[in-house]
Structure formats: structure tokens, C-alpha cells
Amino acid sequence: MTSRRRYTALLDANVLVPIRLTDLFVQLAVDDLFRAKWTQDIHDEWMRAVQRIHPDIQLESLVKRRDQMNAKTRDALIDGYEMMIDSLQLPDNNDRHVLAAAIVGGCDVIVTYNLKDFPKEIMSKFDLEAQHPDVFLANHLDLFPGKFCAAVRKIRGRHVRMKGTISEYLDSLTEIELVATATSLREYANILDV
């Protein structure tokens, strides 16, 4: 009997900056809706971005978040991709490490807000695609509505600051460009409240 390989996504640093988005991705990965992957370079990048946006957040808090992500998400950390970086071409050379990690990590997709930095013609050479986080999440909600909604309930249940109404939570997802995902989740609002 052959085992089916789970859909694997490399999460770009820009999707790991908003804590609500990180929580959602990590919980969905923990619940086995997909395999999440990242690198230490990606961690460093999102941590720098959070500190730039929110200078009041202490580095220790971000290190704790990074360590929890690594501990909770099975085999997420990719290494051994560095030698491939210089051989790759992308519109922004600073993104080559992301593509190299996706290739070495056996990923199916790079989830990123910066789709223009990962052109289809380049990605297809490596049997990869780039997806906006809203497309990725809306697709997973469509495929696994029960598990997806259970993940949202877990997230809301463990975060005191998310105790607002489900409508407020979904509005906050819309604010981080998860319009289709939030719209689809509204159909399940009655089971999302904790």
C-alpha cells in the first residue's frame, strides 16, 4: 500500500507577519490539512518585519513564537537549500532563498502576498506555483470545511484577545486580505463561536 503525500506549502515570510494568519496556518498544519514548511531565513525575515512594524514587541516574544511554530509543526524547517540560491533567477534576487527552499523541501506551492515575485513561467519549471494566502486558505476551507472550522474554533478558544464576536474575527481576516476565506467562513458562523 502506498502512502499519499500531503500537499506541501512553503510559507513566505510576509504571510507569517500577521499573527492571526500565522495561527491559522500553523493550526491547519497541526491538524494535517497540509504540510507547512519554512526556513530559518524565513523566520529571520518575518521577525525583522514584525519588529519594524511593531517596535514595542520584544524579540524574546518573537523567538518564543518561532520556537512554538517549529515545535508544533512536524518537520517544517527546511535546510540544505543554500547552495542552490545563486543558480536561481527571480525578479527580486532577495526571494531566491524562498524558491530554493521550496524546491529542496519538495513543496507544491509557495504561499505569498508577493505573487509578482514568483512568475508562473519560472515556477512551472520546478513544478511549483505561487498562491495568495486567501486562495490557498479558501481552497482548503472548500476541501475540508469541518476540519477548517474546528481549527478556527481552537484558535479562538485559546486566544483571549480574540474573544470578540465571530463577525469581528472574520472582519479582522478581511483586513489581512483574506476576503474569500472570511466570506466563506461566514456561512459557518454559527459553529465558529466559542
**Coil vs helix vs strand at 75:** coil
* Banded model confidence at residue 194, pLDDT cuts 50, 70, 90: low
Angle at which helix 133-143 crosses helix 179-186, to 10 degrees, equals 30
Q: Can you give the pLDDT at residue 1?
A: 38
Non-local (6+) Cβ contacts of 123 within 8 A are: 99, 110, 129, 130
CA-to-CA dists, residue 69 to 19, 29, 180, angstroms: 11, 10, 25
Own/partner pairs, 184-189, CB within 8 angstroms, 24+ separation = 184/138, 184/141, 184/142, 185/141, 185/149, 185/152, 188/145, 188/149
Q: Can you give the pLDDT at residue 157?
A: 84
Where in the chain do CATH 3.40.50.1010 domains reside? 8-131
Q: Has residue 100 got a pLDDT over 80?
A: yes
pLDDT in tens, 44-92: 999 999 999 999 999 999 999 999 999 999 899 999 999 999 999 999 9
The phi and psi torsions of 136 (rounded to 5 degrees) equal -60, -50
Helices of type H across the chain: 13-16, 19-30, 40-53, 59-72, 96-104, 120-123, 133-143, 145-158, 166-175, 179-186, 189-192
CATH-assigned architecture of domain 8-131: 3-Layer(aba) Sandwich (3.40)
Q: Can you give the pLDDT at residue 3?
A: 43
What is d(CA 10, CA 33) in angstroms, rounded to the nearest whole number?
14
8 A C-beta contact, residue 13 and residue 45? yes
Non-local (6+) Cβ contacts of 9 within 8 A are: 34, 35, 36, 37, 107, 108, 109, 110, 111, 131, 136
CA-to-CA dists, residue 110 to 76, 114, 132, angstroms: 14, 10, 9
What is d(CA 78, CA 16) in angstroms, rounded to the nearest whole number?
16
What is d(CA 35, CA 121) in angstroms, rounded to the nearest whole number?
24
pLDDT in tens, 131-181: 999 999 999 999 999 999 999 999 988 865 556 788 988 999 999 999 999
pLDDT in tens, 20-51: 999 999 999 999 999 999 999 999 999 999 99
